[in-house]
Amino acid sequence: MKKTTLLLLGFWWSVAAAAPFGADEEQVLIDKVKVLQNAYEKGDLDSIATMTFEPVIAQVGGVDALKKVSQQVIDQAKRMGVVTENLEVGKPTPPLESGEYLVTFVPKTSTVKMGDKRAKSSSFMIGARRKDQTEWKFMDGAGLRKNPQLLHSFFPDLPKDVALPPNEVRLIQ
């Protein structure tokens, strides 16, 4: 009887942990992605660091290194005259389990202008949180265009054939 109860509780937990998001949590994820995008546009390095997935911070060498790299990206975009004209954040995918994490993909589409050229970027943010916590942290999925293996280096327990949102950039003018 004890084994059966433990098995049922274990099964219930695994199902509950990967249950679809409610509308409230979906909106929280959408809003957080918008806040993070806004932090890049304003150069708010503290917010960027606070919202970045911790293993990414570790990989770049810590918070100070992340802030330095983020500042370089922001400065380069300013030098190139990159301006975000529009940002649309879509509905997060249902959460997937990967070891101690829940993972979701939050699609985003942005239109950017650089001089007399415009581009449309379809990409996504990867949201992750420990199963025993509520705070979502993020990493940009755009880096997977050239390095798709990065996803499984951070989340080795994700299915190898996990479906990802579109991840492309195209000129529109």
| Other beta carbons within 10 Å of 66 | 19
Structural domain boundaries in the chain: 21-155+163-171
pLDDT digits (tens, 9 = 90+) for 26-60: 999 999 999 999 999 999 999 999 999 999 999 99
pLDDT at 22: 79
Spans of the chain, pLDDT less than 50: 1-17
C-alpha–C-alpha distance, residues 169 and 173, integer Å = 12
Domain 21-155+163-171 has CATH 3.40.630.10: no
Helix runs in the chain, H state only: 2-17, 23-42, 45-51, 54-60, 63-79, 150-154
Amino acid at residue number 129: R
Q: Exposure of 55 by Cβ count < 10 A (0-12 exposed, 13-18 middle, 19+ buried)?
A: middle
* CA atoms of 99 and 82, how far apart (whole Å): 38
pLDDT given for residue 149 in this prediction? 86
Residue that the structure tokens 């380069």 belong to:
76
Read off φ and ψ for residue 168, nearest 5 degrees.
-150, 160
pTM to 2 decimal places = 0.84
Give the pLDDT of residue 74. Answer: 93
| Residue among 126, 173, 132 at smallest CA distance from 153 | 126
- pLDDT of 18 reads 54
Q: What is the mean pLDDT of the chain?
A: 87
